[in-house]
Structure 1
Amino acid sequence: MSDLLSRAQQLPDTPGVYLMKDAKGIVLYVGKAKSLKHRVTSYFQPSADHDPRIAAMVALVADIETLQMDSEVDALLAEARLIKDIQPRYNASQKDDKSFTVLGISQDPYPFVFLTREMDVLSRQRAAAKGESYVPPGEPDKASFIGPFTSSGQLRAALKVFQRIFRFRTCTFDIREEDDKRRFFRPCLLWNIGRCTAPCADKVPREAYAEDLGNFRRMMSGAKRELLKEMKARMEAHSDAREYELAAVVRDQVFAIEHLKEHRDLDDALETDLIPLDPVKSVDDLRDLLGLELRPRVIEGTDISHLQGSDAVGSLVSFVDGVPFKSGYRRFKIKTVDQIDDYASIREVVRRRFTRLKNEEAAFPDVMLIDGGQGHLNAALAAMAEAGVRPPLTIGLAKHEGDHLWVAGKREPLRPDLHRPGFRLLQYVRDEAHRFAQNYHHILRRKRVRE
């Protein structure tokens, strides 16, 4: 054990994958690490307090093999490939009480990317072997799969990184190439901020979308070096043909891939520091709670903060697929209200927000959440009328009213089970809007004091 500890302490302090082997050279376990040195050393420290399964595995380890990677993202992908190919004994034992996560790509003219459970993929395969069909709720009839991955959180974080590069869609719309009405469809927030090429709105040729998705598949399958070589050649070809805009798109993708290691740790790469809910389950339950036909992909929430009427500010937070989307957060310094009037302040913030969305022809949120009761809700609806827009589903939620849910168009508030995942998601959006407003208010107060 001391020899293994000594070897572990000599490992590089870089991302990578490690393989634990027994005396016969059989791989017992495959793992990934942000720092090979720190992670592998932790197994062999005399003071280490492992759970029984890990302790049993460590007792059998006679050799360690490591593979250095350029980034944590590369390590995540390499770990998944090795586990699938080798199927080590102690990786399999981890699955006794849970199902690993698998990445799926639908088989559509414009495929979308989604996450599912390995258990559901195996159910599909068993049904197919019997000549039957099994499709988990909310998933496409046909799809290809990559994985499994041991960490669903890190996989979600990696997908956010890759979506910035390859701009694939994650919505489940049925997109038909021959549908001429697509060009009149208003794409969602992800198109506005450059994370999707919006095939739903006919913003990208099918061939270009297929090329981006093909590059994403190759990246996920470990062909990074070959992919970069081909992309650089394509960039040069576009440049030689004076197709400078296309060359710039490929150039930016190459740069992003080559600089993956500059992204934050995968554990922190999600849009928030801590996501206390299951995003998929919460959004599905919210659809049922609000009686919606489709899943509410984009939720925005707003709140007002002031101190005795001074430095009044407004906040707007954005959640996409149940997860905070910090790029969509906005701050508002109240300009038209010079006294304590939350209704007037809400009215200003909502009017400014929807006037801008209207002028930019940007997508409206599926749900607009106001931190407040019926009066605040009515103020928000009045603001949308002033902006000349048809309001999305607008709701109010206030702590001092017992967390009742006021829904536009209903005379009485909803009183859902406080533990419902969908309701807890709304509470999370409201609390995040409150936190963000307070944070901005404190910034302005400190600035005023310094002046």
Structure 2
Amino acid sequence: MANAESERLERIRGRIKELPTTPGVYFLKGPDDVVLYVGKAKSLRSRVASYFQPGSDLAASRGPKILEMAGKVCAVDFLETENEVDAMLKEARLIKDIRPPYNTDLTDDKTFPYLEITTREDFPGVYITRKPQAKGTRLFGPFANVKDLRAVLVELQKIFRFRTCSLEIHDADPKRRFFRPCLLYSIKQCTAPCAARIDKADYRRAIQDLIRFLRSKRSTVLRWLRERMDEAAGNLQYEKAAMFRDRIRLIEGLDDRGTPDEHVQPEVFAADPTEALVKLRDILQVPNQVRIIEGIDIANLSGAESVGSLVKFIDGRPFKSGYRRFRIKTVEGIDDYAMIAEVVRRRYKYALRGEELWPDLILIDGGLGHLHAAEAAFAAMIAECRAEGLADVEPPHTKMASIAKREEDIYLQGQSKPLKLPAHSPVRKLLQYVRDEAHRFAQHYHHLLRDKKLFHDG
């Protein structure tokens, strides 16, 4: 036993020596490559080494739970990132997706904030939000530090004088001329479009300047601030110099952010599913409320590893503990139909035997052929169960459907013609959310971790 423990630690410490000293995300994995813990680091090598230092008191420094976890670690993996902020954002996403047993933080629905500019409005507002609007806005972020984001928003407002109020302001409203602006106009932090103190064209030019500033390196403003800081320090005006120093730090901190496309936070953009679920029940023609939806997708990783993903939604919301990945074991090459059939068999074989609960709807990412492949897998499973002497093996109310990309056609079980719903339909939006989440969950590690294997067989 002692020799086995010594060999385990020696193997891990040897692996740690191969880790870079750059920022990144690390994975402490137990038997069968199951991820036990995900963490971020300024220096990957130093951070991971701290768990396995000879003579270190891990129980005192990190707590008994982490000590227990360290004793189960069999392997270490990592992902390099460009900087610490990128590591922080990727860590949060990976913890939400993988849900490692020894991560207690970041497993809830808390998200990182965005800076949102409501470009669809006559006079766009600028806001910090964790729940962006569905359309007609320009997003920057997510940002890692909301406190600094609030502070820099004040500084930006002094420069660009945009509004941060929630008033509805229309250019054609003649009553604006009689409106009294708030204090921000008096202290020159807003141009008061609410009171017609600026016309639409001039205000929107200021907003475009702000957008360009947020997209650029901001070198001109930073150079001006540094000159003012040096000038104040040269005149022994240290408080004024410190003010400019703080403004420089805040503006430089605007780079401490991710991008909406790379650092996806799908829970941020979820709509209220109440209406969708009621209408979905009518479309499926089932007697009871649709509560559990499971979405299935297939991804080919690097052209070699194929994986199936399954996501679970309860009452229209993602239920992350129900997410699963399946290494494809029986299909060689690229055959999505056969892979869908394998995932269906492996996921629902226990439900057919009455050992697991059925979902109300199984949603396949694909077209009519993908749906038929899933239906055929079910038929074969039922035949096998009956051949084994099992009687009542039909799932009582579970429905199957598929949703194809591009045209967003929805195919229902037993129907050859697609159901075409308008783009604003709440049912279509909910099914797209399930489909997109299954697709994202299948593809996420391929794009993020490249060839690194963090799967747990389902």
Q: Which structure exhibits the higher relative contact order, with contacts defined as CA atoms closer than 8 Å and separated by 6 or more residues?
A: 2
Query: Which one has a bigger Cα radius of gyration?
Result: 2
Same fold (TM over 0.5): no
TM-score range, shorter chain: 0.3 to 0.5
The TM-score with structure 1 as length reference comes to 0.39
